[in-house]
A and B are shown apart, each in its own frame.
Chain A
């Protein structure tokens, strides 16, 4: 088994790590009590059998790790079930953040109402564990696959395309087209295919796919950033800047609600600042780079030396230009 660990990520225990009788009782409970509920909300395609892919206990403890949380991500299974193992009044902060809920009335952070309550969502829907301010928040997360379902096949095709993208973008495009056929509303597949088109030099196809992805998933800051890149490649400088501004706005919204700052927010700022500096707006570009430096200090683990160098170089260049004006 492979476990991805980051220093900001809280410790996890998989079901097979638990004492055998408890693991067995937990597995039986999932099949007898959780599966029927999952099937009831997946009714249109319930002919596909359910299978547990993984079951893990995650414990966020604000006393042992500073602001523990999970960065925005999606998982490669059909459904995720997130069950509260601690009372909501035992911690401050925390909860699950969904970018897709940014414009909803109830807000983007979902918390359990009581001990034992579960939140069920498609695993591929982007989500984050909001940073914990104090206390302990423990959850049981069950990843469930709907075996051989079109949606799971679409995910497999995307995963294969993601691996093939750099070495064989044409093959990756074929895989992604099959994925989109199986799951027409698959924003991620469209987005990934747009990056393949860029590698193949097909800017118009990339633009079409990236626009579709951004339209299907309007609160995804990464899609806005990449839309800016593609618009820039197509010669639409103003459109690119607008896309990068929207990307930065969304990344800032994520942070406002307690998401771990993302290195991608720095990329969007670099893209916008470079573009603005081409307009001789060195003051504006410098302001954006100063904010990027702040973000780098908040998320040092993910930032590459090249990115730090780019931010510092552009900031120094803009400051020098401002001094000469």
Chain B
């Protein structure tokens, strides 16, 4: 019943969080950094639109046990009761 939980992926960088009064420009001193306007408006719109177009081309069918997804050339099955890999 007792079990060790193993991480799926692994945490590497663990540094103390600095007080907010200290200006932080290095990522190693912070949990995260903010950058305004990393993407211009026209690229935001075109990226979203292209992603929607990709998903609209997709289809999903299902039977008793699985969902079958088709996005362009990619097809895969997802078990209804568990996660799985799509290739």
Looking at the assembled complex, report how far the CB atom of A62 sits from the nearest CB atom of chain B, in whole angstroms. 16
Query: What range describes how many residues of A lie at the interface?
Result: 35 or more
Of all chain B residues, the one with the shortest Cβ separation from A33 is B38
A7 vs B78: C-alpha distance in the bound complex, in angstroms?
A: 8
**Which residues of A (60-101) have their CB < 8 Å from a CB of B?**
73-76, 79, 81, 83, 85-86, 96, 98, 100-101
Looking at the assembled complex, report how far the CB atom of A157 sits from the nearest CB atom of chain B, in whole angstroms. 10
Q: Give the number of residue pairs across the A-B interface with Cβ within 8 Å.
A: 227
Q: Is the CB of A121 within 8 A of B27?
A: yes
B87 beta carbon closer than 8 Å to chain A:
yes
A79 vs B17: C-alpha distance in the bound complex, in angstroms?
A: 18
Q: Is the CB of B38 within 8 A of A34?
A: yes
Cross-interface CB contact of A26 among B1, B43, B53, B82, cutoff 8 Å: B43
Q: Is the CB of B46 within 8 A of A267?
A: no
A238 beta carbon closer than 8 Å to chain B:
no
Cross-interface CB contact of B72 among A7, A17, A154, cutoff 8 Å: A17
Looking at the assembled complex, report how far the CB atom of A77 sits from the nearest CB atom of chain B, in whole angstroms. 10
Among B12, B74, B76, the one with the most A-chain Cβ atoms within 10 Å of its Cβ is B12
A18 beta carbon closer than 8 Å to chain B:
yes
Of all chain A residues, the one with the shortest Cβ separation from B45 is A85
Given A5-B69, A124-B13, output 10 extra A-B contacts at Cβ < 8 Å: A4-B83, A42-B26, A57-B47, A85-B48, A113-B34, A117-B34, A120-B35, A138-B51, A226-B5, A267-B5
Q: Which residues of B contact A (CB under 8 A)?
A: 1-15, 17, 20, 25-28, 31-41, 43-44, 46-48, 50-55, 58, 67, 69, 71-72, 74, 76, 78, 80-87
